[in-house]
Amino acid sequence: MAVSAGAASVGHGGWVLRGAVAADIEVIAELRATVMRADLERLGRFDEYRVRQRLRDSFSPQYTSVIMLGGELAGCLTVRPAEGRLWLEHFYLAPHCQGRGLGSAVLRTVLQRADAQGVPVGLNVLRGSAARRLYERHGFVVESEDPVDVFMMRPPGVRAGTPTRT
């Protein structure tokens, strides 16, 4: 049921998804701290140690892919099965790779694989994060919110830009 992180996938635009290995943990933890800092500070939740440790505590190479662009690490994402859906977690792009269509291209690939399995995809995004617009453009809708997180879901087969109902 999971979207395999083990095999490499080549996307248009020269990016590649490769399976994560244990040695990737620290570079991914650092990427998480960099990418999430502004949103966590805005929410009064940034902690230098905790932002990295949360990644370390939940790191699962089995379900994690590293996004490579031009031979360099451009980001990562985790797609794990749970609760009858695939959960998209730890989707981070290096700041210099954001806003160039890479996130959309990677997300389309993940969603096509999920659609082929006929399973919904869930995620959570920090309140006020610009990433929420990316997810909404790809058919995710809000299921619930709390003071920090917005929980979203995308049913199988929804096309990008297609409004869905909750």
Q: What angle do CA 120, 121, 125 make, to 5 degrees?
A: 145
d(CA 165, CA 99): 27
pLDDT digits (tens, 9 = 90+) for 80-111: 999 899 999 999 999 999 999 999 999 999 99
Q: What is the pLDDT of residue 162?
A: 55
Q: Which amino acid is at 129?
A: S
Task: Say whether pTM exceeds 0.85.
Answer: yes
- The first and second tokens of residue 160, run together, are 């990008």
**Sheet of 72-82, strand order:** 9-10, 15-19, 64-69, 72-82, 85-93, 121-126, 149-154, 141-145
- What pLDDT is stored for residue 158 in this prediction? 87
The pLDDT value recorded for residue 10 is 62
HSE-up of 80 (CA within 13 Å, CB side)? 13
Q: Which distant-in-sequence residues (6+ apart) come within 8 Å of 82 by Cβ?
A: none
Contact criterion met (CB below 8 Å) for 74 and 68: yes
Question: Length of the chain in residues, anyone?
Answer: 166
B/e letters for 31-68, b = 16+ CB within 10 Å, e = fewer, are bbbebbeebbeebeeeeeeebbebbeeebebebbbbbb
Which stretches of the chain drop beneath a pLDDT of 70?
1-12, 161-166
Report the chain's terminal Cα–Cα distance, integer Å.
Answer: 24
pLDDT score at 2? 41
